[in-house]
Amino acid sequence: MIFAINEINNNPGMLPDVKLGYKIYDNCGTIDILRAALALVSGLKGEVSDGNCTKAETVHAILGHSGSRPTIAFQQVVGRFHIPVISHFATCACLSNRREYPTFFRTIPSDYYQSRALAKMVRQFGWTWIGAVAVDNEYGRNGVAAFVQNAQEFGVCIEYSEAFSSSGPPDNLQRIIEIIKHSTSKVILAFMSHREIKLLAAELYRHNVKGLQWVGSDAWITDHSLTDSEGHSILVGSLGFVVSRAHIQGLEEHLRQLHPSQFPDSQFVREYWEDVFNCTLNETGKSQRKPCSGSESLQNTDLEFTDVSELRFTNNVYKSVYAVAHALDSLIKCDVNGKGPFSNWSCADVQHIKPWQVLQYLSTVNFTTEEGERVYFDSNGDSPAKYELVNLQMNNKGAIDGVTVGIYDASLPERHQFIMNNIPVVWGNGLNEVPASVCSESCLPGARKVLQKGRPVCCYDCIPCPAGEISNLTDSIHCLKCPPEYWSNNKRDACIPKVIEFLAYDELLGTLLALFSLMGVFLTMITTIIFYCHKETPLVRANNSELSFLLLFSLTLCFLCSLTFIGRPSEWSCMLRHTAFGITFVLCISCVLGKTIVVLMAFRATLPGSNVMKWFGTTQQRLSVLTFTLIQVLICTLWLTINPPFPFKNMSHYKEKIILECALGSAVGFWAVLGYIGLLAVLCFVLAFLARKLPDNFNEAKFITFSMLIFCAVWITFIPAYVSSPGKFTVAVEIFAILASSYGLLICIFLQKCLIILFRPEQNTKKHMMGKKI
């Protein structure tokens, strides 16, 4: 402070014709500090000895104190007299309250910014579960409260928050030690002074509690006395923010010029001088030390007092003095031509400067130091927040050094405020990796967080996402449903397209059905060839060869139409499969019905005087088959015209896959087609049943009866099977019904005829055909 004042007084460009004076109260304890503040308020007439000086009733500004508690105590008194107070080290966020402390300024950032920086740093390293211990005063309690508020914003939870004081009962400290020992968090925020942290570290050292990661406030993180404390090794690896390091040009030379003659009444200078040079300045007193010669000098000594390499809080004092000087300089240089800051745009009377006038100018101070640091105060009297992140590391001499490993600048955009440099960090656990401190491990993609009842939000269980939902982020709160055509993978971290299922040729079921279909075509062709080669034989001629060949042709179409049900459904295949099936089966049943009617008419024609066959000759047979078939063609045409079948993605039957099927379009059309086939089949079955006992060695009616019995049984069982079968098995059931009924007709009607033609030609005679049963 003295150096800065001397520098200002020797600067002709600042405060011309004015010199700054000062009065130092070097007192300890809140009561003594409050007494000094009251003395400053009362007036300093007796302190001024220069006759040319303006004899002010009160001081224009007060610099100090370094602690928040004494500052709070005397600021409430001094503030009533509108005297500005500028602190270099009082960081309590409560002092930013302009209503309570209207004249307070500081050149160190508020604990609000420090707490926010600490919370952001904790979150940066992934520590979401921490403990907090504070000194039991306004500094500690307000600091932790601000930290907790910011930490919660960043998703950090506090396992415990305790406070104690160095002057408090020992039981309180022991209680905190037990809490730390039984806690699960591995990171501890210590918002306290160097006195409390040394007590806490020493007690933890005695209980052999190690491996903790400490996060410290600026009140102790760079304190040089930590090395001298018991258990200081526990604090190695601590991280904390402190104000930026600075260089003050000329300060080292000023310190080396210190001599007791400059401060004859200073007890501190006297004791320091005697301790450094091991001599005594008291010539009359009895001392074991030799008297000082007067030639002692600090010029050639290497002491902590003259070391200016770590100027942090010292620079705040330097800025405080210059802030007051700039305020006074602006007040003195006020333009009187109607541009003053006071009433009627007036300026202050330089001969009678009032503290409240200095306060007015101090709130608008804005200057840049020689080191390029900008100094100004916001509306709360706070300085811009800029910190260095310090890591406590052990040096070669066994002492603790604060190594800068990053910076925090609140004036930068949110994403760029916290920056780490490339200097390796020493961690509290002694390892080369960042220690973990979480209540619950992160939930990997594929799971979601479910909070544990009665515990903080950082304590949760990881529940796998249900089928059809995913979470592709770590620590996801919700599982997201996949789009309708997608499904979750096994890990539940990605949506993949659903498997599209249909009856394909390349799968076993599709291949078997296709083979049976082709085999049916082959057997039908063989039967056709056999009948064609023996078309002149009595057996073939007696069984209405024209209708037999037409029936074999329709059976071939029935076997082939089953192939249209296999493969990926398309618009044309959906329309073809049902209409082809309906028309070919009606053609087939019409032929069987014609053969049945022919059998009945033939035996009626053998009765005396009967003329029935002329009403159901070859032409009538053809017309009946054509008529029955055209009715089905008409039904199919109406179906395709009004609401035809179409490809449809069925996503309701199975959640995990899509059934690609042919929607019926019009259910009435589908059941009309089946109903018409059923009607003809029942009619054919009834007629064949009536003709089953007609006398003949080869009565075709009984074979038609068996074939229609199989046909009807197949399609009656088809209906419930079709309705209840899932997915591609619905199509398989329909193909099976087509093949089973087709094979039933082929085998029942043509198998015995082929066996007689090929292996029993003696039965293929007219005589045998006309023989009567006994």
Per-residue pLDDT for 687 more than 90? no
Q: What is the predicted pLDDT for the residue at 605?
A: 53
> Per-residue pLDDT tens for 67-95?
888 888 888 888 888 889 999 989 888 89
Task: Find tokens 């420090």 and name the residue.
Answer: 114
Per-residue pLDDT for 225 more than 80? yes
723-727 mean pLDDT: 73
- Token readout for 141 is 């309690």
Q: Who has greater pLDDT, 27 or 103?
A: 103
Q: What is the predicted pLDDT for the residue at 268?
A: 84
Query: Measured between alpha carbons, how far is residue 438 from residues 37, 134, 402 in Å?
Result: 48, 21, 27
d(CA 408, CA 113): 10
Angle at 576 between CA 574 and CA 581, to 5 degrees: 110
* Long-range contacts from 550-553, C-beta under 8 angstroms, 24+ separation: 550/587, 550/591, 550/625, 551/588, 551/591, 551/592, 551/595, 551/745, 551/749, 552/524, 552/527, 552/528, 552/750, 553/528
Per-residue pLDDT for 137 more than 80? yes
Q: What is the predicted pLDDT for the residue at 49?
A: 45
Residue 396: band (very low, low, confident or very high) from pLDDT cuts 50, 70, 90: confident
* Coil, helix or strand at residue 301: coil
Q: Who has greater pLDDT, 149 or 707?
A: 149
Best CA proximity match to 18, nearest among 325, 229, 345, 469: 325
253-270 mean pLDDT: 86
* Coil, helix or strand at residue 290: strand
What letter does residue 596 receive in the DSSP assignment?
Answer: H
Query: Measured between alpha carbons, how far is residue 169 from residues 174, 296, 612 in Å?
Result: 9, 46, 128
Q: Which amino acid belongs to residue 308?
A: V
Find the distance separating the first CA and the last CA of the chain, reported in whole Å. Answer: 144
Q: Who has greater pLDDT, 258 or 595?
A: 258
Residue 653: band (very low, low, confident or very high) from pLDDT cuts 50, 70, 90: confident
132-150 mean pLDDT: 91
368-394 mean pLDDT: 91
Q: How many CB atoms lie within 10 A of CB 212?
A: 22
- Token readout for 154 is 């960043």
Q: Round the average pLDDT of the chain to a whole number and report it.
A: 85
Within 8 A by CB and 6+ apart from 157, the residues are 128, 129, 130, 151, 439, 456, 457, 458, 459
Residue 427: band (very low, low, confident or very high) from pLDDT cuts 50, 70, 90: very high
> Per-residue pLDDT tens for 87-128?
998 988 889 999 999 999 999 999 888 899 999 999 999 999
d(CA 127, CA 42): 52
Q: Report whether 320 contacts 350 (CB < 8 A).
A: no
Q: Who has greater pLDDT, 336 or 25?
A: 25
SS3 annotation, 707-729: HHHHHHHHHHHHHHHHHHCCCHH
223-251 mean pLDDT: 88
Helix (H) or strand (E) run with residue 464 in it: strand 460-464
Q: What is the predicted pLDDT for the residue at 700?
A: 66
φ, ψ (nearest 5 deg) of residue 162: -125, 160
Q: What is the predicted pLDDT for the residue at 236?
A: 93
d(CA 501, CA 457): 44
Q: What is the predicted pLDDT for the residue at 773?
A: 42
Which of 48-57, 434-443, 521-530, 727-736 shows the lowest mean pLDDT across its residues? 48-57
319-346 mean pLDDT: 84
Express as a percent the part of the chain with pLDDT over 90: 33
652-677 mean pLDDT: 86
Query: Measured between alpha carbons, how far is residue 619 from residues 536, 546, 586, 626, 688 in Å?
Result: 20, 11, 19, 11, 21
Q: What is the predicted pLDDT for the residue at 774?
A: 32
601-616 mean pLDDT: 56
Express as a percent the part of the chain with pLDDT over 70: 91
Strand (E) positions, 323-383? 366-368, 374-376
- Helix, strand, coil tally for the chain in percent (to 5): 50, 15, 40
Residue 228: band (very low, low, confident or very high) from pLDDT cuts 50, 70, 90: confident
* Coil, helix or strand at residue 749: helix
Query: Could you tell me where the DSSP H helices lie in 477-617?
Result: 508-533, 538-542, 545-561, 571-605
Q: Who has greater pLDDT, 284 or 69?
A: 69
Residue 23: band (very low, low, confident or very high) from pLDDT cuts 50, 70, 90: confident
pTM, 2 dp: 0.63
Per-residue pLDDT for 573 more than 70? yes
Q: Report whether 355 contacts 105 (CB < 8 A).
A: no
Residue 48: band (very low, low, confident or very high) from pLDDT cuts 50, 70, 90: very low
* Coil, helix or strand at residue 522: helix
